[in-house]
């Protein structure tokens, strides 16, 4: 999957708007393979890489359970904590929206705004499949050397 500057900026705007409207702490767009695509809000002490991997795996396990029950409609996961809670929503087929929020957030508002955010993201993310840039347009002859240098300290 390829992401460019323009799309990244738009995703960040959409996520920031969700934080603003819902008084959530932070939110993340993650792909179903566990890669973090974008984050907004106060991520502070949260390890965003781990969060992306665990959310995607957790959601994948839940989706597998849903399939076992012949129900493909598990689209939301919600976990309530003492001070902070986490809400994970499917965005299209390939992405997840993860929102972390506290007591300031009103659940009804969160649900309504999350739905709007998902619609906006789905429209935007359809464009990603149209990005056809290769990681390196002309692979330089130094590729092997660079990879060797990169790995030499391992």
Partner 1 sequence: MSLINYASREINCKIVYYGPGLGGKTTNIKYVYKQIDADARGKLVSLATETDRTLFFDFLPLNLGQVQGFKTRFHLYTVPGQVHYDASRRLILKGADGIIFVADSQKERLEDNIESYKNLNVNLKSQNIDPDSIPLVLQYNKMDLPNVMDADTLDEKLNKDNYLSFESIAIEGIGVFDTLKAISKLVLKSVSEGR
Which residues contact partner 1 (rule: CB under 8 A)? 1-5, 7-9, 31-35, 37, 47, 49-50, 53-54, 57, 60-61, 64, 131, 133-136, 139-140, 142-144, 146-148, 150-151, 154
Cα 63 off chain centre by:
16
Q: Give 104 or 134: the residue with its C-beta nearer to partner 1.
A: 134
Nearest alpha-carbon partner for 11 in 53, 44, 52, 39: 39
Residue with smaller CB distance to partner 1, 69 or 139: 139
**CB of 115 vs partner 1, minimal distance in Å:** 26
83: its two tokens: 């001070």
Which residue number, 10 or 17, has a Cβ lying nearer to partner 1?
10
CB of 56 to partner 1, least distance (A): 8
Beta bridge partners of 87: 78, 99
The nearer residue to partner 1, 4 or 123, going by C-beta atoms, is 4
Shortest distance, CB of residue 70 to partner 1, whole angstroms?
Answer: 15
As beta bridge partners, residue 91 has 95
Nearer to partner 1, 69 or 151 (CB): 151
The residues, any chain, with a CB within 8 Å of residue 85's CB and separated by 6 or more, are 78, 79, 100, 101, 102
Smallest distance from partner 1 to CB 113, Å = 25
Which residues touch 13 (CB under 8 Å, ≥6 apart)? none
Q: How far apart are CA 112 and CA 56, in angstroms?
A: 23
């Amino acid at each position: 999957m390829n992401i460019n500057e323009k799309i990244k900026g738009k995703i960040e705007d959409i996520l920031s708007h969700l934080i603003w409207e819902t008084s959530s702490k932070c939110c993340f767009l993650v792909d179903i393979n566990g890669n973090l695509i974008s984050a907004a809000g106060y991520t502070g002490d949260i390890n965003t890489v781990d969060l992306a991997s665990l959310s995607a795996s957790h959601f994948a396990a839940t989706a597998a359970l849903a399939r076992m029950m012949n129900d493909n409609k598990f689209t939301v996961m919600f976990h309530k904590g003492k001070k902070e809670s986490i809400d994970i929503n499917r965005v299209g087929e390939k992405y997840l929206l993860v929102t972390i929020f506290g007591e300031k957030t009103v659940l009804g508002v969160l649900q309504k705004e999350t739905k709007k955010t998902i619609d906006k993201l789905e429209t935007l993310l359809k464009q990603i499949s149209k990005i056809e840039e290769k990681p390196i347009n002309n692979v330089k002859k130094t590729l092997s050397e660079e990879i060797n240098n990169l790995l030499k300290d391992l």
